[in-house]
Structure 1
């Protein structure tokens, strides 16, 4: 390596760049396409067809809807997962809410961080034993540097539309949120209402 550096000072930089790129040279869509060709994705088409019949297929790209979680590498699971068929219907009302949120410019589907989780991965991910991800009713999103005004808009939307949608809105922090349709409620980092950013906004 010293010989390379002496004769080609830029070679080390090139090697470093190639090495870093080799850690994960493919984007999420490319990885999804590769995963979709594996036996683990056997029910992918059936799930997509089910969502199409429910008129929510266009709520999120499939590579976003099937994201297992942020810690998939650390936990040794696949980045994508098709939920059990018995839980497919649970995602329909949540996707209907997501369609409305996206139409109003409050969410971006490509920033989905987590959807269905099986019990083993949910524990590794740090999820609650009562997590709605286990039932395929929840989605986590990264908001990418959400400003206070954007959080206020989201909370105002939740207060207005949440009761009818049975929308649950949780904040892990200002940039990471949880959405489900298992009851109108909100919470913050410690899973209590008092730490929700919506409580602070309304207060």
Structure 2
């Protein structure tokens, strides 16, 4: 069951109309980089959850110069899935342009400006596996991980770090 049932494949199909060539180029890049099956395209292109309040589009295609960052994050998600760390997940937010990020309350240097994913809440066992992976292998992956007060998990490849509700390392669920 989707946790974001409004920004589903049907809405994505309508949004995609008129952007077909750009979305197809993005999907071709993902196929070429062997990360096309990590998550459905419509999930990878979900913008901020506050898209309506911010009068923004429900989906955002990152500019082509950021696609290598998309590949890097997806390769990490693929590894986490293959190894059973994240057996199932739903991407609820990914790339955000600067204006939408500001409106949505994102950090000024948010990884979402380049490409990061927020995934749906995880059960306790999955969260424990993710934290163990981060502690043991996160530095090698340049992995950032956090859990927001909503329960959503943030994952990026923009530096080995963790934080929590206070936006500081001390409140990270991975350090408890």
**Same topology, TM > 0.5:** yes
What do residues 95-130 of structure 1 show as CA deviations (whole Å, max 9, x unaligned)?
A: 001012222152534x21111100000011110010
Larger Rg: 1
Matched, 1:143 2:127: no
* Match of residue 126 from structure 1: 105
Q: In 2, are the aligned partners of 1:56 and 1:95 still within 8 Å (CA)?
A: yes
Q: TM-score, normalised by structure 2?
A: 0.89
1:27 and 1:74 map into 2 onto residues whose CA distance is: 14
Q: Select which of 50, 56, 66 maps to 1:71.
A: 50
Q: Output aligned runs, 1:33-182, within 5 Å.
A: 33-39=13-19, 42-103=21-82, 104-106=84-86, 108-109=88-89, 111-136=90-115, 138-143=116-121, 146-147=123-124, 149-173=125-149, 175-182=151-158
Shift of 1:66: 0.3
Q: Which moved more, 1:30-39 or 1:178-187?
A: 30-39
SS in structure 2 at match of 1:81: coil
What do residues 74-106 of structure 1 show as CA deviations (whole Å, max 9, x unaligned)?
A: 111111111111111111111001012222152
SS in structure 1 at match of 2:146: strand
Q: Select which of 2, 5, 8 maps to 1:28.
A: 8
Query: Is there any run of 5+ residues in structure 2 with no aligned partner, and where?
Result: none
Aligned CA-pair RMSD: 1.9
Number of residue pairs matched?
171
1:186 and 1:26 map into 2 onto residues whose CA distance is: 30
Poorly superposed stretches of 4+, deviation over 2 Å: none
Name the structure, 1 or 2, with higher relative contact order (CA <8 Å, separation 6+).
2
* Match of residue 194 from structure 1: 170
SS in structure 1 at match of 2:53: helix
Query: Is there any run of 5+ residues in structure 1 with no aligned partner, and where?
Result: 1-24
Q: TM-score, normalised by structure 1?
A: 0.78
Question: Residues 108, 173 of structure 1: CA spacing in aligned structure 2 closer, same or farther, 3 A cutoff?
Answer: farther
